[in-house]
Amino acid sequence: MLHRQDAGMNPIPPHLSAAPAARRFPVAIKLLLIGVAVIFLQLPLLFINNLRQERAQNREAAHARLIEAGQVVPPEATMTPAVAAAEGYRMVERALKHGVLVLTLTFAAFFLFEVLAGLRLHAVHYGLVGAALCLFYLALLALGEVMHPGPAYVAAAVASSLLIVGYSASILKSWLRAGMMAGLLTAEHSVLFVVLRMEDYALLAGTAALFTALGAVMFFTRNVDWFAEENAKGEAA
- Inside any domain, residue 3: no
- Quick one: which H or E segment has residue 188? helix 175-197
Question: What is d(CA 155, CA 147) in angstroms, rounded to the nearest whole number?
Answer: 10
pTM summary value: 0.77
pLDDT values of the chain reduced to their tens digit, one per residue, 237 residues = 444 444 445 554 444 444 444 444 577 788 888 899 999 999 999 999 999 999 888 887 776 666 666 654 544 444 455 666 788 898 999 899 889 989 999 999 999 998 888 888 998 999 999 999 999 999 999 998 888 889 999 999 999 999 999 999 999 999 999 999 999 999 999 989 988 888 777 778 778 878 888 888 888 888 877 776 656 555 555
Q: Which of 86, 103, 99 is nearest to 52 (CA)?
A: 86
Q: Which of 92, 199, 79, 195 is nearest to 152 (CA)?
A: 92
- Other beta carbons within 10 angstroms of residue 33's beta carbon come to 13
- Inside any domain, residue 32: yes
Give the residue numbers spanning the domain of 31. Answer: 26-226
- Inside any domain, residue 60: yes
- Inside any domain, residue 101: yes
Cα 66 off chain centre by:
40
- Inside any domain, residue 7: no
Convert the pLDDT of each residue in 172-223 to its tens digit: 999 999 999 999 999 999 989 988 888 777 778 778 878 888 888 888 888 8
Cα 126 off chain centre by:
9
- Inside any domain, residue 70: yes
- Inside any domain, residue 16: no
Helices (H), the chain: 2-9, 14-22, 26-40, 42-68, 75-96, 99-117, 123-144, 149-171, 175-197, 202-220, 226-236
- Inside any domain, residue 102: yes
**How many independent structural domains does the chain possess?**
1
User: CB–CB of 164/133 below 8 Å?
Assistant: yes
